[in-house]
Structure 1
């Protein structure tokens, strides 16, 4: 499984990091010339940490934002959408501290003519304060 395969062989295992072998990995196929979004629900005050890897990053763009449930809330751009180069065939790690309910939305756009495999995992650590 991808969570046990070392990074240099296309997996997500880095050793000594926030995530361990027991943290599950979700796999999604991104079709050619398509945009895929992954949403993480935030129901309590927490610190979200995630890792994303696309097997063959060439022609793939990545971005992340937090969208609050409150109608008068503001969307927070966590990672501006950017093209990830083919030499960056690594794991993108990011985190976000949320004090309000909402969702974190990851956006990946595959502009190539080949399908890509997306691997991701998430860890949520509750904060002592509540909404």
Structure 2
């Protein structure tokens, strides 16, 4: 019995190795990650991603260095609105829709909140980016 406990303690004391994703080259922020940019590596890193489908086609939010683990916060959906882009601001309430031209004050992806300046009134509003690039204000 003591021998079995000793073996169990020895086995449990060993780190659990898993396959994690690492870039094969340095990927700069705002670049789209492709399958050729990634490799699997055996390591024991908490929070590192291991499923390529969670990374491929996403945009690097920070620089990803070769051989270092990729974490969930390092990548996100690709931005569809860039800073200083001209966008359409849309306000809808009931059957009323008001649209105006605005300038984005940041960059973001579909569904993200962004600040936009209304070019007519010079008022700054916050809205959510729609898939077509318009900014919907409540």
Tell me if both proteins adopt one fold, taking TM over 0.5 as the criterion. no
| Higher-RCO chain (CA-CA 8 Å, sequence separation at least 6) | 1
Greater fraction strand: 1
TM-score bracket relative to the smaller structure: under 0.3
User: What TM-score do the two structures reach when normalised by structure 1?
Assistant: 0.21
User: What TM-score do the two structures reach when normalised by structure 2?
Assistant: 0.20
